[in-house]
Amino acid sequence: MTQKNYIPTQEELCQYRKILDRLIPNDEIFYNYDMNVAFYLDIMPELSRFGKKLANRVEKIRLLESDLFKHRYLVGYMDRSLFKNTAPNYDSFVSVIESSKTMRIPIVIVPNHHKFNRPIAEHEFVHVNQILLGSESFISRYPEDIVENFFQTLRNEYEANFLQLIRWPKFYPLQSGIDLEHWCLLRGYSQGLEKTCNEMVTIAAQPNDVENVLALIKGKLPETFKLIGVNEEVLKWFIKRFEDHIDIALTVVLEENHNLQHNKSFIAIARWFQNNRV
């Protein structure tokens, strides 16, 4: 049975316009991006000749116009098998070309010889603008930074999903049983938790730091959700299920890396879950 297309509410359309307006870089930022892209496209043949990493990992590069932002963005097409090995759980992702200390160019990467998916590409164009506006996270060993990275990921993914699903509402799963904003928050929240657990495992975070990070994230949820404009009932829904969502994130991380049973950070996260679940 074919799912009926969702019709966004006036409140959702208003939120859509607010997020869209906030994520459009000013003329100077777009000008610098365009100049850097043009420079990179000019030197790319030379980069390929000298074995530069990204230039040899993509089969072609194109500039594509965004429906959301009415601007052209850099898109790289990667060999499908290489893409699957690089990002096995993704349909696309954003990488950053760093040609010098001052030039950083975000680029959307998609599998080559694959039917172009406009909504997925537009989701990544949102992330490109977020990077251009300085809303990105960096791996850090400090608990406060890890917590900040979680909330940055939550917001970035929430915004990308929200803009994508309001513009192309047929992709919103009506059968989810939760409203569209709740769904978009859940997507960002889940990805944020998975990324946080992965980050702590990667940097071999100390058990005390693991406990601090998870406690700080749970404690700061009300403040952050209030800033986004989330209602009280949705906030309660997330807080009530926080420990269960940590368990799900751990399962995802373990599926991606089966050699974590003896990792002290992974064990600390699992112990925190055992000690705090209701």
Q: What digits encode the pLDDT tens for the residues 90-122? A: 899 999 988 666 688 999 999 987 778 999 999
Q: Identify the pLDDT of residue 101.
A: 63
Q: In this predicted model, what pLDDT tens digit does every residue of 177-198 receive, in sequence order? A: 899 999 999 999 999 999 999 9
Confidence category of residue 264, pLDDT binned at 50, 70, 90: very high
Q: State the Cα–Cα distance between residues 272 and 163, nearest whole angstrom.
A: 35
Q: State the Cα–Cα distance between residues 160 and 126, nearest whole angstrom.
A: 6
Instruction: Point out the domain boundary residue: 106, 132, 158.
Output: 132
**Into how many domains does the chain fold?**
2
Does 103 share its domain with 168?
Answer: no
Q: Identify the pLDDT of residue 162.
A: 97
Q: Which residues form the domain of 256?
A: 143-276
Does 119 share its domain with 244?
Answer: no
User: Looking at per-residue confidence, does 262 or 162 come out higher?
Assistant: 162
Does 107 share its domain with 148?
Answer: no
**Side-chain half-sphere of 121: how many Cα atoms within 13 Å?**
22
Q: State the Cα–Cα distance between residues 215 and 268, nearest whole angstrom.
A: 13
Does 121 share its domain with 169?
Answer: no
* Domain annotation covers residue 6: no
Which phi and psi (to 5°) does residue 76 adopt?
-110, 140
Share of the chain above pLDDT 70, in %: 93
Q: State the Cα–Cα distance between residues 185 and 161, nearest whole angstrom.
A: 8
Does 206 share its domain with 125?
Answer: no
Mean pLDDT to the nearest integer, 188-210: 93
Instruction: Point out the domain boundary residue: 132, 155, 189.
Output: 132
Q: In this predicted model, what pLDDT tens digit does every residue of 66-98 receive, in sequence order? A: 999 999 999 999 988 999 888 888 899 999 988
**Side-chain half-sphere of 192: how many Cα atoms within 13 Å?**
27
Res. 275: pLDDT tops 70:
yes
Q: Report CA-CA distances (Å) from 20 to 106, 126, 158, 167.
A: 19, 9, 12, 11
* Domain annotation covers residue 42: yes
Instruction: Point out the domain boundary residue: 110, 132, 154.
Output: 132
Does 118 share its domain with 195?
Answer: no
- Cβ-contact 87, 93 below 8 angstroms: yes
* Domain annotation covers residue 3: no
pTM of the model: 0.91
Does 81 share its domain with 59?
Answer: yes
Does 103 share its domain with 154?
Answer: no
Q: Identify the pLDDT of residue 276.
A: 85
User: Looking at per-residue confidence, does 46 or 260 come out higher?
Assistant: 260
Q: Identify the pLDDT of residue 51.
A: 47
Mean pLDDT to the nearest integer, 244-250: 92
User: Looking at per-residue confidence, does 44 or 84 come out higher?
Assistant: 84
